Amino acid sequence: MAVSLDEIRKAAERVAASHGLDLVDIEFAGSKKDRILRVMLEKNAEGRARLKAEAGAGAEGLPEKLLQGSLAVEQLSGLTHEDCARFSRDFGVLLDVEDLVPGAEYTLEASSPGLDRKLTRPEDFERFAGCLVKVQTFEPIRNNRHWQGRLMAGPQAATGKGTITIDLAAVQQNSRSRKAGVNTVEIALSNVEKANLVPEI
């Protein structure tokens, strides 16, 4: 019986929601003998709003860069070890009861998406506007498939534009990007092969 990532994703979303978390992504990798189910989580919008309020009040225990304002609250998942442990316990039981990962043993890993998180959905690009990103395209733009800079504006979903704009002046560019001779690049979402945040710590 094959593993259904859609069913696993739905189950993970239910368990995450019951713990005040949002599912960011899931991956199922490895060989038959060494299978790993990775679940990336973050606090839900309410939890992130609390974290933002704590940062604004200068609460202790938060990253210095966050308190200084050079790290955006949106870049942090707010996830704790306790969150991961509770989610893993409940989700592991659900996976076994519903037999969502049939066959041999597997390892369940629950973690935050990290500061270099993947951006996959239009709402990710909207949420992280203003952050540094690294984007690889399917088709070259100005003879280049690799771009790095500050995400200026997320996809204009309301107008159906479906593009992102990257400010290339925000970082030192590689020779190919410099040869393009532009300060910004507009990339269609349909042309984004992969995109990640670039940590600014």
Compute the Cα dihedral for 80, 85, 86, 90 and give only its sign.
Answer: positive
| Number of CB atoms found within 10 A of residue 190's CB | 10
Domain shared by 101 and 55, yes or no: yes
According to the model, what pLDDT value does residue 4 have?
83
- The amino acid sitting at 38 is R
Domain shared by 24 and 103, yes or no: yes
Judge whether 137 lies within some domain. yes
Domain shared by 23 and 86, yes or no: yes
- What dihedral do alpha carbons 197, 129, 46, 85 form, nearest 10°? -10
CB 73 within 8 A of CB 81: no
Domain shared by 78 and 134, yes or no: no
Judge whether 79 lies within some domain. yes
Domain shared by 17 and 99, yes or no: yes
Domain shared by 103 and 127, yes or no: no
Domain shared by 31 and 68, yes or no: yes
Domain shared by 137 and 183, yes or no: yes
Largest Cα span, the chain: 57
CB 115 within 8 A of CB 75: yes
CATH number at residue 179: 2.30.30.180
CB 62 within 8 A of CB 70: no
Domain shared by 44 and 11, yes or no: yes
According to the model, what pLDDT value does residue 91 have?
96
Domain shared by 185 and 131, yes or no: yes
Judge whether 116 lies within some domain. no
Q: Give CA angle at 77 (135, 106), nearest 5°.
A: 85
| Number of CB atoms found within 10 A of residue 12's CB | 25
Last residue of a domain, one of 64, 89, 111: 111
Last residue of a domain, one of 83, 111, 139: 111
The answer, as to whether pTM is greater than 0.75, is yes
What's the domain range around 52?
A: 5-111
Number of domains the chain is built from: 2
HSE at residue 83, side-chain half, CA atoms within 13 A, is 22
The pLDDT profile of the chain, 201 residues, written as one tens digit per residue, is 567 889 999 999 999 999 999 999 999 988 777 899 999 999 998 988 887 787 777 667 666 666 566 566 667 777 889 999 999 999 999 999 988 888 768 899 999 998 899 998 888 898 888 889 999 999 999 889 999 999 986 555 444 568 999 999 888 776 666 666 788 999 999 999 999 999 876
In the chain, % helix, strand, coil (3-state, to 5) comes to 35, 30, 35
According to the model, what pLDDT value does residue 171 have?
82
Domain shared by 25 and 103, yes or no: yes
Domain shared by 93 and 175, yes or no: no
